[in-house]
Amino acid sequence: MMKQIIINKKYHEKKLNKIILENLPNMNYPTFCKLLRKKDIKVNGKRINKDILVYEKDKIEIYLPKELEDIKIELNKMYEDENILIIDKPSNIEVTGINSLTEIISKQYTDYEFKPQPCHRIDRNTTGLVIFAKNKEALEILLEKFKKHEIEKHYLALVYGIPTKREERVEAYLFKDNKKSQVYISDTFKKGYQKIITKYTVLEKRKNNTALLDVEIETGRTHQIRAHLAHMGYPIIGDGKYGKNDINRRFGKKYQMLCSYRLKFNFVTESGILEYLTGKEVKKNVTI
């Protein structure tokens, strides 16, 4: 994708990086430098690899990598009031970062001094409900509520294999390898591992050795549901990282069949301006 900027009087005789960074909000300085090295920036039709001065009426062309292309999605608001916003996130988009759900929401709330901020995250290709705070006080309260486990998060997961128990609460330990962007599960404590608790209930036993589970996590670790279920012998269908490729191909699924479908506010401690949410439940109707 190519972006074009025509220099006006405001940017006459200014550095190229200043102009690009101010006009492309998804861009950061390291990415700008990378584009220069690859000669993916043209000024007046000539490819450049230096941070030069530009002048009025100059034409800049920037060839953007795919991750910086504008993503256009229609926000599916499941609930909103003056303090919070709950969005049904589609697949193939991060909650935070470049071209993220948070950035898209910020662009639609330009009149707000405080741009809505997420109170928790779900994986890029996990769909479903994400809570955003619309002011600082609400953000602080919700972060504390998640920390105290006073907000229930329920997921639907389609797994390969049928659990022998109808419901179970399972404790284990998780290690996050940041370099590989992957986590590992152990049934016993090891140095560097953090405790995780995952609860599941079998909602349906289906044909082809599959089951639909309601999953609730008491600890919100990276990839916890996906890795923990796989470790227990019930990989999520479509999960390319923790699942099984032959099973994913058999069912024709490229993304994990995992959806954040129900949130419940179980406030038992002081809730300040969010007291009215106590007992409230937001649920997405979804078929997996």
Q: Where are the domains of the chain?
A: 2-68, 154-260
214 is catalytic: no
Domain 154-260 sits in which CATH superfamily? Pseudouridine synthase (3.30.2350.10)
Strand partners, 197: 171
Tell me the C-alpha distance between 108 and 110, whole Å. 6
Q: Which two tokens stand for residue 13?
A: 């005789």
In this predicted model, what pLDDT tens digit does every residue of 155-167 receive, in sequence order?
999 999 999 999 9
**Contact present, 196 and 171 (Cβ < 8 Å):** yes
Query: Shortest CA distance to 269 belongs to which of 150, 183, 170?
Result: 150
Distances (CA, A) of 245 to 156, 160, 174, 195, 280: 21, 12, 23, 28, 39
DSSP-based three-state secondary structure for 155: strand
Residue 61: pLDDT band with limits 50, 70, 90: very high
Q: What is the DSSP string of 27-41?
A: --HHHHHHHHHTT-E
| Total number of residues shown for the chain | 288
Q: Give the whole-angstrom CA distance, residue 138 versus residue 86.
A: 13
- Would you call 134 exposed, middle or buried from its count of C-beta atoms within 10 A (0-12, 13-18, 19+)? buried
Given 123, 177, 239, 246, the catalytic residue:
123
Per the CB < 8 A criterion, the answer to whether 213 and 200 are in contact is yes
pTM for this predicted structure: 0.78
pLDDT greater than 90 at residue 269: yes
Q: Express each pLDDT in 222-243 by its tens digit.
A: 999 999 999 999 999 999 999 9
CATH of the domain spanning 2-68, picked from 1.20.1730.10, 3.30.70.60, 3.40.50.2300, 3.10.290.10: 3.10.290.10
Provide the token pair at 272.
Answer: 């300040």
Task: Count Cβ atoms below 10 Å from residue 32 Cβ, excluding itself.
Answer: 18
Strand 127-133 to 258-265 pairing: parallel
CA distance 160 to 234: 5
The pLDDT-based confidence of 31 (bands split at 50, 70, 90) is confident
